[in-house]
Structures are given as C-alpha cells and as structure tokens.
Homo-oligomer: A and B are copies of this chain.
Amino acid sequence: MAEEIERKFLVKGDFKRSATHKVRITQGYLSSVRERTVRVRLRDDKGFLTIKGEAGDSGISRYEWEKEIPAAEAEELLALCEPGLIDKTRYLVPAGAFTFEVDEFYGDNEGLIIAEIELRSESDQFPKPDWLGEEVTGDLRYYNTMLIKNPFTGW
C-alpha cells in the first residue's frame, strides 16, 4: 500500500521560467466519490488508470494505486467516464531538492493554476519559491473531481 503526501498551493507569479518539463494531461473519472476515486488519464501519448482512497483527516495522506495502460484503451475508458473532462498542461518546476508539479487548466477551468509538492512526511520542510501563493491543501473545491462538477470559471 503506497501513501502519498501532497500539499497544494495557488500560483501568483511566473513559474514557467523555472519549468524543466511539460506534459498535456486529459483526465476523467469512472468514480469521483470521496471514499474511492477511479481516474483515467492521458499524459501526452501514455495512458494511466489510478485508484485513490479517501484523504486522511489532515487532507494530506491517501492510498494510491496506479497502472500504465495503452493510450488507445485510456481513450476508450475516457469515453465511459462521468460527464466532463479535465484538460491541463502540467509543468515540472524544480526547487532545491524538491519538484513542484504546476497545473495550468484550460476549458471550463481556464485561469486556474495550482502547484503541488509531494513530501515524505507531513512535517517535511520544503522551499517556497516567490511565485507560490496561498496554500489550499484539503480545500475540496480544488480537487480535480470537484473542478469537473463545479468549474473555476463559474466561481
């Protein structure tokens, strides 16, 4: 059982000057209930199926299971997903020994940019680049599952 510890932030400045990689992501959900999400994702030309458990009380630790699948199968499964898909570009932005994943959203979530950092423990210290804004870890509105049901442009 793998655990991931993630913290989430809004972005208030130019992070792209520090980005080293980017990938286009399209994703949808076969299940988006809090207790168990089943996500289908295309990352450029690769497919992934990801199952996550409920977030802990802190909103930080979650069980996660992931398998790579053929892109053609991911496209079939995206067609089966709940209505609404997430479309975004993910940038990798190194900061010291860490790497932020910064998601720039399109479509109904145009204008929203979120940075995530993965930590080994909930008390881990990490750098705070000048483009890093308000922390929104645990705020349900910023879950991708919620951004499908209640997109940013409608807030």
Q: Which residues of A contact B (CB under 8 A)?
A: 1, 30-31, 33, 35-36, 38, 49, 51, 53, 63, 65, 67, 69, 73, 76-77, 80-82
With the chains together, A146 CA to B98 CA distance in Å?
A: 47
A31 CB to closest chain B CB, in angstroms? 4
How many copies of this kind of chain does the complex include? Answer: 2
What would be 27 A-B contacts, judged by CB atoms less than 8 Å apart? A1-B76, A30-B30, A30-B31, A30-B36, A30-B38, A30-B51, A31-B31, A31-B33, A31-B36, A31-B38, A35-B80, A35-B82, A36-B80, A36-B81, A36-B82, A38-B38, A49-B49, A51-B77, A51-B80, A53-B80, A63-B76, A63-B80, A65-B73, A65-B76, A65-B77, A67-B67, A67-B69
Residues on the B chain within 8 Å of A77, using CB: 51, 65
Interface centre among A35, A38, A81 (most CB of B within 10 A): A38
With the chains together, A63 CA to B1 CA distance in Å?
A: 30
